[in-house]
Structure 1
Amino acid sequence: MIELDDLDRKLLGALARDARVSTGALARRYDASQPVVWRRIKRLREAGVLAGRKLELDAAKLGFGVTVFLGVKLATKGRVSLQDFETSVSAIPEVQTVEHVLGMYDYRLRVVARDISDFERVLRRRIMTLPGVGDVEANVLLSEEKRPGPIG
């Protein structure tokens, strides 16, 4: 674990909100020199705290107006069924995330679809036919607020 001071936390919060912000802008915002900010960000990257850069697509603007979280309980347990399920579900383009979780369900999936009937098609024809699928619970996303996470 890396020790973080106030400037590190401020930089992480700012980068979590907008990873494209320049070191010059961050330096002005937090009353520091640009080389100091650059070195801090480099240190955070080398320590693995900043684990990469990713492009975020707007699913709604691409025609995917519905997001559903699925809780999936496997009918059979065991290493083979977990591996088979993970491999199969990861191949479905509408499935955005696959999370192996502890609790009532074995997996939590984030699925996007054009509309509810498109989601029903994906559920019936793709997800419910996967190896080992037992119980499924769907929760439709109504709204979402993105938070940078616990930094400070």
Structure 2
Amino acid sequence: MIDLDDIDRDILRAMQKDATQSASQLGRRFGMSQPAMWRRIKRLQDAGVIAGRRVVLDKDKLGFGVTVFLGVKLAAKGRVSLEDFERAVSAIREVQTVEHVLGLYDYRLRVVATDIADFERVLRRRIMTLPGVGNVEANVLLTEERLPGPL
């Protein structure tokens, strides 16, 4: 684990809010030169604290009006490896996240679709045909009140 000072934490908060800020912009904000800020960011990246940067897309504007969380219980864990299932389900473009969980289900999937009919097609033709799939429970997302925020 890396030792973080208050400035590191402030930089991380600022970058989580807007990852498009340059080292120069962040430097001005925190009273540092661009090279000094770049060194701090590089140290955080090299330590793995900053694992990457991403663009958040508006799924509704892109035509994905339905998000469904699926709980998937594998039918025969001995006959199909977890890696085989994970590889196969990760290849489905509508599946946004694959989480191996402990509890009633073996996996939790976040699936996006244009509408319910499209989701049904993905479920029937792509997900239910995967090797080892047993029970599946679907929960349709109605609203998302809290978006992921700073750690």
Question: Structures share a fold, TM > 0.5?
Answer: yes
What TM-score, normalized to structure 2? 0.88
Q: Distance in 2 between matches of 1:78 and 1:54?
A: 37
Is residue 147 of structure 1 aligned with residue 145 of structure 2? no
| CA displacement, residues 59-78 of structure 1 (integer Å, 9 cap, x when unaligned) | 22111111111111111123
Q: CA deviation at 1:79?
A: 7.5
Q: Distance in 2 between matches of 1:7 and 1:148?
A: 18
Aligned residues: CA RMSD: 1.8
Q: How many residue pairs align between the two structures?
A: 150
Equivalent pair of 1:81/1:131 in contact (CA under 8 Å): no
Is residue 77 of structure 1 aligned with residue 77 of structure 2? yes
Q: In 2 relative to 1, CA 86–79 (structure 1 residues): closer, same or farther, beyond 3 Å?
A: farther
Is residue 20 of structure 1 aligned with residue 39 of structure 2? no
Higher mean Cα deviation, 49-58 or 118-127?
49-58
> Matches of residues 37-116 of structure 1 in structure 2 within 5 Å?
37-78=37-78, 80-116=80-116
Equivalent pair of 1:23/1:37 in contact (CA under 8 Å): yes
Equivalent pair of 2:79/2:132 in contact (CA under 8 Å): no
Q: In 2 relative to 1, CA 18–94 (structure 1 residues): closer, same or farther, beyond 3 Å?
A: same
What TM-score, normalized to structure 1? 0.88
Gaps of 5+ in 2: none
Q: CA deviation at 1:15?
A: 0.8
Equivalent pair of 1:67/1:140 in contact (CA under 8 Å): yes
| CA displacement, residues 2-56 of structure 1 (integer Å, 9 cap, x when unaligned) | 0111111111111112111122222232333333322111110111111223333
SS of the aligned residue for 2:117 comes to helix
Equivalent pair of 1:70/1:110 in contact (CA under 8 Å): yes
Q: Which residue does the alignment assign to 1:2?
A: 2
Higher mean Cα deviation, 140-149 or 118-127?
140-149
